[in-house]
Structure 1
Amino acid sequence: MVMANLVKDVIIQILLRLSVKSLCRLKCVCKSWRLLISDPHFIRMHLNLATRNNCVNCQRWRLCLTSFSLPSVYSVGYEAYDRAVAVTIDYPLKRDFYDEVKFIGSCNGLLCVASEPGILLLINPSTREAEEIPRLGNRRPFTQSSLPYMYGFGYAQSINDYKLVKISCKGSVFVYSLKANSWREVGMFPYRILALDPGIQLNGAIHWVVSHSTDSQIIGAFDLVEEKFWDVSPPASVKNFYGIGVFGECLCILPDTDITSHNDFWIMKSYGIKESWTKVVITIPYFRMKPLGVFENHRALLEIDGKLVVYNFIDGTCTDLVIHGIPVGIEFEVETYIESLFSPYLRLALRADIRQS
């Protein structure tokens, strides 16, 4: 019995270090392996092992690309710091008549997207699973003919639930819970909407660039557990900024560059502590920049004025990231995600956690 348990533990440790693609194949080997790999506890351990290394060039971090010029969504894996390969992502709810797919956010391997026919989807690019999010009443969530909305997608760890936040231009705030598989109206948006960019998830909250009236911009945060808004103040010297992001697990803001280019941005080293804002200076001037992730050896992947570049913070040099499989010169939208076994049908497992607690 002891030897049998030892062998099982060794098998589990081996399986935890395999890619999602390999694990999906191994589920066909035997019933016991299928049950093990499908077990929510194994899925969480598999994810936790991957997230110990937050470098974008590690085995299971990926980029996702979409473009109005391309008929599909692409997953991008790294060959080296400056080389990557893109492959088409096929999923069950994919339709040829979807003219454009817009990223809302990604979390634990789940990608939330909106498509122009009015569909909101949860996709796991690694397992190729997808599920449509129920529509809010008779409203079509994302069409050019309807009022636009501002979105945010994230995970509330303390309650083990994934939530999608939807804010109308009139200020109504709706929250979709994956665990409950339903929408609720939770109040009014307490800020002035400045742009319809999707919110940034960090520390169990969604963040947007907003203002209280005509004042300088601030960051409005929505706590996914308490479902309440609170302010995140920018550095005292920064009055206007066009965007926010996550850089090395820190919240960051990007200066307003409507008139002149910038070569700096700010990161909040201690989340929620205004005094921890720190300026980061790079050698590349830019009008629009989005940090995508960090490599090992003091490198970072940045989207700068429509190009993906690998920037070296030691010597200030940069190299274009060449992606094989994507035409050169097209404009695209990019999102990061991590390979995981988490399913868009996760609400069944989430509800099981409730019954077991």
Structure 2
Amino acid sequence: MDVISEILSRTPVKSVCRFRCVSKAWQALISDATFLGTHKEPLPLLIVNSIGADEPRDHRDSPLMDLESNLNFYIMGAYKYRGHDLQLLDLDGNVIRVMKRAGTFLTMCSGGAVNGPAACVTLHHSTFNVIDLASGNVIATSKAENMRDYNALNSVFSYGVGCAIPSGNYKLVFLARSQACQVLTLQDGAEWRHAQPSPAQVFFNGYRQYSSVTINGVMRFFHYNWEAPQGDENYILCFHLESEEWKESIKGPVKLTDPYDMPEPIMTELNDTLCIVEWEELVTHVWLLIDPVDSIWVKTYTIPMAPATYVEMPLRMVCDNGEKVLLHCSPRRFTSTATRTLQDYDPLTGSHTHRINFRAYGLGKVGICRMDLKYVVSSKIFTMVEPEEFNLPLLLE
């Protein structure tokens, strides 16, 4: 069995799970703690919010923008459907894990460093939670007690949640249109504190869930103003979460396309690399930052879109019989047959392959992580505790 164990340890998670049906011996081997600890091929998983039958239909689908784009809609108490379940799906749409009443998915948040533990940030009522996706535990949490007042005074703002290095503290950062910057550590009893004003105003483009990206302890905000003079229209503001100081900004790509009748460019990350996505009619351009010191960007992908597609968001580059890009695609108009989908794009052939329909999942944003086999084999359903007990772990249902 030693040779079989070695081969299976390098086999993708999806195949290994199926091989448990081969025999009792294989089932015992694959379920063994020693084997699970040595398996070398993590499984890519999607993070989505599921919706209930009482969810307002207008909120079930929205290209790019989710309800969290308007945080004051939540914070001022205008929206009552806040106990969304969080689901982990494999790339074929199979449910791997469910976290009941986890709240609205905001963003991924690795545990401090590139390839750190898979974690995500959710909002439940006015409480921000960082959830370890492998264990299902809430590992950091804080109620934004005075966020109502802050939001009312600064109705246009950007925000981000990230992990500081080396302390490992998770922090929420708010940038106001006045360039004021406030920071809240996600822990019991923490209070807002003022940091240095941002070097420039972050022009809010309507998609707050894409307004910041944290990689290796540095939170980045996208300053984009297509009406600015040539050479000054886009750059990346860099906030060091440990020192809570602004560092030297990164110049963005060359002047991007004017967003006439299309969404403005947004910033995200692709396989832990900073990424700018822009759209033209029937085309998605993906820029990757390859040298942050000299601000060198490369337009890595130019992806054709079908006429019925409004936007395509790259989620991850995967190696599946050659390099492919996973895309979260939104249609121009939602109907009973036209809904958000997950698709593969093959740069070699220029073709798309359909994977999943997201009709059963709401609130727009989709995240992606990688999880080891030992967490997939023992899939569980977790229930969030009540808001006043968010400092406790998730409870097994």
- Per the TM superposition, whether the score is higher than 0.5 is yes
Amino acid at match of 1:73: D
Amino acid at match of 2:147: R
Task: Tell me how far 1:328 sits from its aligned partner.
Answer: 5.3
Residue of structure 2 equivalent to 1:333: 365
Say whether residues 1:106 and 2:102 are aligned partners. Answer: no
Match of 1:203 among 216, 238, 249: 216
Match of 1:155 among 163, 166, 177: 163
Q: Is the 1:72–1:88 contact (alpha carbons within 8 Å) kept by the matching residues of 2?
A: no
What is the percent sequence identity of the aligned residues?
14
Residue of structure 1 equivalent to 2:253: 235
Residue of structure 1 equivalent to 2:98: 89
1:53-80 CA-to-partner distances (Å, cap 9, x unmatched) read 8xxxx534321112643963332332xx
Distance 1:218 1:141 in 2: 30
The change in CA–CA distance for 1:149 and 1:184 in structure 2 (over 3 A counts) is same
Distance 1:122 1:331 in 2: 18
Distance 1:213 1:316 in 2: 29
- SS of the aligned residue for 2:134 comes to coil
Residue of structure 1 equivalent to 2:48: 65
Return 5+ residue gaps in structure 1 as ranges: 1-13, 19-36, 38-45, 347-357
Distance 2:85 2:150 in 1: 18
Distance 2:167 2:197 in 1: 23
Residue of structure 2 equivalent to 1:222: 239
Say whether residues 1:311 and 2:345 are aligned partners. Answer: yes
1:78-100 CA-to-partner distances (Å, cap 9, x unmatched) read 2xx6x121356335xx38xx7xx
Which portions of structure 1, spanning 4 or more consecutive aligned residues, are displaced by more than 6 angstroms? Answer: 141-146
Task: Tell me how far 1:309 sits from its aligned partner.
Answer: 0.8
Say whether residues 1:321 and 2:323 are aligned partners. Answer: no
Distance 1:299 1:213 in 2: 31
Amino acid at match of 1:284: M
Distance 1:75 1:314 in 2: 32
Q: Is the 2:220–2:238 contact (alpha carbons within 8 Å) kept by the matching residues of 1?
A: yes
Say whether residues 1:281 and 2:302 are aligned partners. Answer: yes
Distance 1:144 1:105 in 2: 26
Q: Is the 1:105–1:152 contact (alpha carbons within 8 Å) kept by the matching residues of 2?
A: no
The change in CA–CA distance for 1:138 and 1:163 in structure 2 (over 3 A counts) is closer
The change in CA–CA distance for 1:252 and 1:132 in structure 2 (over 3 A counts) is closer
Residue of structure 2 equivalent to 1:254: 277
Q: Is the 1:209–1:244 contact (alpha carbons within 8 Å) kept by the matching residues of 2?
A: yes
Report the TM-score when normalising by structure 2.
0.58
Q: How does 1:259-270 map to 2 (within 5 A)?
A: 260-270=281-291
Amino acid at match of 1:105: M
The change in CA–CA distance for 1:105 and 1:88 in structure 2 (over 3 A counts) is same
1:134-162 CA-to-partner distances (Å, cap 9, x unmatched) read 33453349989984642212223334333
- SS of the aligned residue for 1:321 comes to strand
- Aligned residue pairs, count: 283
Amino acid at match of 2:44: W
Amino acid at match of 2:351: T
- SS of the aligned residue for 2:291 comes to coil
1:222-262 CA-to-partner distances (Å, cap 9, x unmatched) read 222332333221222436552012123321111254xx332
- SS of the aligned residue for 2:296 comes to helix
Task: Tell me how far 1:303 sits from its aligned partner.
Answer: 1.3
Distance 1:226 1:176 in 2: 13
Return 5+ residue gaps in structure 2 as ranges: 1-8, 14-32, 52-58, 61-80, 111-116, 259-263, 331-339, 376-389, 393-397
Task: Tell me how far 1:293 sits from its aligned partner.
Answer: 1.0
Match of 1:76 among 88, 92, 95: 88
Distance 2:223 2:350 in 1: 32
Amino acid at match of 2:106: F
Pick which of 310-319 and 117-126 moved more.
117-126
Pick which of 152-161 and 299-308 moved more.
152-161
Distance 1:317 1:253 in 2: 22
Q: Is the 1:105–1:111 contact (alpha carbons within 8 Å) kept by the matching residues of 2?
A: yes
Report the TM-score when normalising by structure 1.
0.64
How big is the alpha-carbon RMSD for the aligned residues of Structure 1 and Structure 2?
Answer: 4.1
Distance 1:210 1:146 in 2: 17
The change in CA–CA distance for 1:179 and 1:329 in structure 2 (over 3 A counts) is closer
Distance 2:195 2:361 in 1: 43
